[in-house]
Amino acid sequence: MTKTIRDLQNEVDAFIGQFEEGYFSPLAMMARITEETGELAREINHYYGEKPKKTSEGEKTIQEEIGDCLFVLTCMANSLNVDLEEAHDQVMQKFKTRDANRWTKKKEEDK
C-alpha cells in the first residue's frame, strides 16, 4: 500500500498526539531540522566524501537520516497547519516556470 503525503502527515500527527507535550515550538523544531540536516550531511560525507567514519561511530544510513529530516519537517508542517501536498505543488509550479529553461533537457530517446 502506497502512502500519500496526507497519510504521512496524519500518521505523524497521531503519533505526536499521544503525548502531553505535543509538538515542539517552531523555533525548537527549526533547531531539530538543522541538527538532523547536519547528521544527514555527516553521513553523506562518510559515504561520498573524504572523511571516513571513526571506529567509535555507530552505523547509520543516509536513508535513516533522510527519514529523520522528513519526520521533523512533517512535525513542523503539522504544527504550523501547512499542507505538505499544497506546499509541494506550489514549489513544483515555481520550478517548472522559473527554471523551465535553466538546464539542458534530455532528448526524447534519452528519457
Domain ranges of the chain: 5-102
Q: How far is CA 25 from the centre of its chain?
A: 18
d(CA 43, CA 51): 10
For residue 4, what are the contacts with CB-CB under 8 A and spacing of at least 6? 85
Q: How far is CA 57 from the centre of its chain?
A: 23
State the pTM of this model: 0.85
Grade residue 111 by pLDDT with cuts at 50, 70 and 90: low
Q: Give the CATH number of domain 5-102.
A: 1.10.287.1080
Grade residue 105 by pLDDT with cuts at 50, 70 and 90: confident
Q: Can you give the three-state secondary structure of 57-72, one letter per residue? A: CCCCCHHHHHHHHHHH
Q: How far is CA 45 from each of CA 40, 41, 51, 61, 85, rounded to the nearest angstrom? A: 9, 6, 6, 12, 30
Query: Tens digit of pLDDT for each residue in 8-53?
Result: 999 999 999 999 999 999 999 999 999 999 999 999 998 898 877 7
* More confident position, 61 or 56: 61
The arithmetic mean of pLDDT across residues 88-108, rounded, is 89
Query: Tens digit of pLDDT for each residue in 79-95?
Result: 999 999 999 999 999 98
